[in-house]
A = this chain, B = another copy of it.
Amino acid sequence: MKTSIATVSINGNLKEKILAISKAGFDGVEIFENDFLTFNLSPKEIKKIVKDQGLEITLFQPFRDFEGMPDNHRTRAFDRAKKKFDIMAELETDLILICSNTSNISLGGLDRAANDFFELGEIARERSIKIGYEALAWGKYINDHRDAWEIVRRANHENVGIILDSFHTLSKNIDLNSITTIPKEKIFIVQLADAPLHNMDLLYWSRHYRNMPGQGDLPISNFMDALNKTGYDGYLSLEIFNDNYRSGPRNLIAKDGQRSLISLINKSKTKNKQELKINQIEFIEFAANEKNLKELENTLNALGFNEIGKHQLKKIKLFVFDNVKFIINYENTLLIEKNSKKGPYPYAYGININSLDLLFKQAELLDISLIKKQENLNLSMDAINHIDGLIYVIESNDNNIWEKDFGYCPSPAKNDFNVKIDHIAQTLNQDEMSSSLLSYSVLFSCKKSPIVDIIDQYGITKSQIIENKTQTFRMTMNGADNSNTIAGQFLKKTTRPGIQHVALSSDNLIALVKKLKKKGQEFLKISDNYYDDIEARFGLDFNFCNELKELNILYDEDENGSFLQVYTNLINNTFFFEIVQRINNYQGYGANNALFRIAAQKNII
């Protein structure tokens, strides 16, 4: 299958769009009519630009309100179509999309529509043009691909076929088995779009919220499974209407689109083969300079970490607490310049994956940027050059890396607290979220939650959970909408996306917090009013609730179990730590408590 995208999916004038689409690696482009009409070059000149960029025009679209018109309007509909056929001849493209009629004056009836298509098919045949009929989810009479297919079947004309669009089918939850019986040669092109789940008018949802396959909540892979059963091997073409894409970074958006398609095609091909997987987060790396190194060491010590070793060659130290490894890098002056007042901060993390070899192959296929250690003497591991910063990668069977570099051999004996990394929380701009998410899903097949609103006192932070299938890798991705929120202030300070907090887990949070408090660690003061409320809300035991209050531990429940969480104060007004305890397989991240955490942080700043 080859890849294509409609010009409406990204911003710019027609030429800028074509250039970005070519640069992103697509094989073809759908010309969205308004992009053509508003552009001040002739069809022949436009055709030349497309060809010079090595692209094929896969589709000219949309042609609206054609079938089922009453007599007095029918002639004009045919005249309009002929005009468009003229333009298509000059563009040298042979496929037009006719979407199902939405006009109030149109008439129903499958045979009437089939006759219209047969008649237009005859005209199209003379000009070697193919007509693809698509059911809009909000078409007046035809709003289901099964009915569109019945019309195409009855039209029974070699120049008339169907166009499938994942949004129109999946948004209405239409049985996907109905796709599997369409002959592949009658599927003239397939359009793909995903979307976050919103319970709203289909037209409004479609025009504002579509996104790239994998970025939304629609079951695109089920759609692809059904399509693959037909044997279809033509173009997969993105048609995305998204408010953010209309002003967002054109080249990045196009690149994300191409990645999402390549990933889908690749997954269809390699079913049952080995998948690339994240096993867990191996370590977090903090940047410091010689000036603020001591400050960070004290912070980590107070949190229960001990310095285990120094790198044999570089200015890098390893701190460990139970199963958690933190690295301090005070060598790389690029991270924090020597005399910078910028405090230390977490700037990268390492993941343990099942196969480096597979990562290299996938990254090449998906055009994801890697920094290989052979090519960069500063690195002792390979790394993904990600929008959120560096992600180091270690293969799971390379257990010796810690011993080699730091002489550190993790002991099998665990202490009482069984401290692990529960999750990391990345903060980035809201409009970068979907792009960042995509690399976790296409590379590592991570799953994601729907996006939820975190109410900050000064704005809304969007939050989404990303996890591997076994939940041994967990991350929250937080998108800031302005610079006054806690998330926005992080971006303002660090001037780049990254890890805003690291959440550790323990099997015995209350005891751990008591121990750390004794050692001098301070925790974020939560409003007393909160504890009055949760005591009644969850029916908590008075003494237990009082203990939570004293220790500033937040509480939540889900249908499985309960959740304890505690925060440190903001460090350098930038990042912070969380410690959680998941009791009886609690699945969430305490989203209900986020506004209390944020308000408490604001009280201090």
Contacts and interface: CB of A to CB of B under 8 A. Distances in A.
A243 B457 contact: no
Nearest to A247: B459
Contacts of A458: 11-12, 246-247
Contact of A11 (B87, B198, B200, B459): B459
Contacts of A37: 527, 529-530, 533, 596
Interface residues of A, number: 54
A337 interface: no
Contact of A532 (B13, B87, B529): B87
Interface stretch (A75-83, A129-137, A279-287, A302-310): A75-83
Interface string A502-515: 00000000000000
B247 A484 contact: yes
Interface in A529-561: 529-530, 532-533, 535-537, 539
Given A457-B13, A532-B87, A603 B40 contact: yes
A327 to B, nearest CB: 35
A484 B16 CA distance: 14
B199 A198 contact: no
Contacts of A481: 247
B536 A83 contact: yes
Interface in A169-213: 198-201, 204
A460 interface: yes
A595 interface: yes
A460 B247 contact: yes
A600 interface: yes
A528 interface: yes
Number of copies: 2
- Interface centre among A36, A529, A536, A600, by most chain B C-beta atoms within 10 angstroms, is A529
Contacts of A485: 247
B11 A76 contact: no
A450 to B, nearest CB: 12
Interface in A226-257: 243, 246-247
Interface in A560-605: 595-596, 598-600, 602-603
A603 B76 CA distance: 32
Contact of A201 (B43, B199, B599): B199
10 contacts: A11-B459, A12-B458, A34-B595, A37-B529, A38-B596, A40-B525, A40-B527, A40-B603, A79-B536, A80-B536
Given A40-B599, A87-B529, A247-B481, 10 more contacts: A34-B595, A38-B596, A38-B600, A83-B533, A87-B532, A198-B204, A243-B460, A246-B459, A246-B460, A247-B482
Interface of A: 11-13, 33-34, 36-40, 42-43, 76, 79-80, 83-84, 87, 198-201, 204, 243, 246-247, 455-460, 481-482, 484-485, 525, 527-530, 532-533, 535-537, 539, 595-596, 598-600, 602-603
